[in-house]
Amino acid sequence: MTRSDGTILHPGFTPPYILERLREHGSPRQRRCAEATLTRDRGFRAARGPQRAARKPEASAPGRPARYIHSAEHRETLPGRLVREEDQPGGDDPAVEEAYRWLGATYRFFWEVFERHSIDANGMPLIGTVHFGQDYANAFWNGAQMVFGDGDDELFRRFTIAVDVVAHELAHGVTERESGLVYAGQSGALNESLSDVFGSLVKQFHRGERAAQADWLIGAELLTEAVQGRALRSMAEPGSAFDDPVLGRDPQPAHMDQFVVTQTDNGGVHINSGIPNRAFYLAAQALDGYAWEVAGQVWYATLRDSRLSPDIDFAGFAALTVDNADRSYGRQSREQQAIRDAWQAVGVRV
């Protein structure tokens, strides 16, 4: 994701407002970890392009992933040392095994649900790096690969532990390849929301859950018992994921009436994503069944729609979802009406 000045933007999973709050209210060690994570993230956002593997990984045949897992060994050089490739036997490093497993689960979802062959639809290798930095409390997509920190083990567990976190980062690559949504303002919030949508769908697909059975939480396994919260985000109830003396209270709005106007976080991309997140949740609940069968198909078709401009706002995206539902299921169909109603329920006019 590139700004007009050529600067690469690497969206991180942990919102900066959480890290900033932790820097002010955490223990001395937590403050150091938060400051180090924020400093690294600012450095990545100023990078002039991703670092790439010395040996070019090979693509895979359709229907099969090509996973390459590396260890940064607590340094900050990417991709790090290659520790596991496709079809190699597993080892005893949980982060390596989780990255391998969840990248495979995400590939399987995109292949079986959308017939998409990896990030670029052409078998792009799935490159992941674990054990990045010291107590790095984040994960990100850098334009070429996924990167996962180990967290501080006080508030945050390792970032490979949750399938939706891994899928969220891979989905940023899909969005980058399909639409190049500008990572700022409403288009940036849609970018984050799409990663949450697909992250949640991958988790539901892996578990075989219907929409009514899913928890609709993002990063539920990531927070330790020391945190008063359920996850980093809730798609069903934005603003309710956590309320903690150290991390503060979840600031996500669930309706356009509470839309946050801010210059931080690239114009609130992690905050205002709660609005389209809830719209997807409401549509999936109204349609029942498996969320990837109708709502997921419509959102994916919209992501790939040639009319989706990089700087589109919520209303423009909503209109395209309604139109794609019309194309697939018919005007005034139950499916189209459910999606229209979902957007109107969060204050987005369609």
User: Active-site positions?
Assistant: 169, 270
Residue 185, burial from CB neighbour count under 10 angstroms (0-12, 13-18, 19+) = middle
Between CA 183 and CA 40 the distance in angstroms is: 18
Between CA 101 and CA 323 the distance in angstroms is: 36
Which is higher by pLDDT, 234 or 11?
Answer: 234
Is residue 4 predicted with pLDDT exceeding 70? no
| pLDDT recorded at residue 185 | 96
DSSP 8-state class, residue 203? H
pLDDT in tens, 58-71: 888 999 999 999 99
| Bridge-based pairing state of the strands 146-148 and 139-141 | antiparallel
pLDDT in tens, 268-307: 999 999 999 999 999 999 999 999 999 999 999 999 999 9
| pLDDT recorded at residue 108 | 98
Between CA 139 and CA 56 the distance in angstroms is: 23
Q: Count each helix (H run) and each strand (E run) in the chain, helices first.
A: 10, 9
| pLDDT recorded at residue 42 | 76
What are the residue ranges of helices labelled H in 60-126? 94-114
312 touches 279 (CB < 8 A):
no
Report residue 120 CA to chain centroid gap: 16
Domains (ranges, CATH) in the chain?
Answer: 50-178 (3.10.170.10), 185-345 (1.10.390.10)
Is residue 135 predicted with pLDDT exceeding 70? yes
Evaluated on CA atoms 169, 175, 176, 177, the torsion sign reads: positive
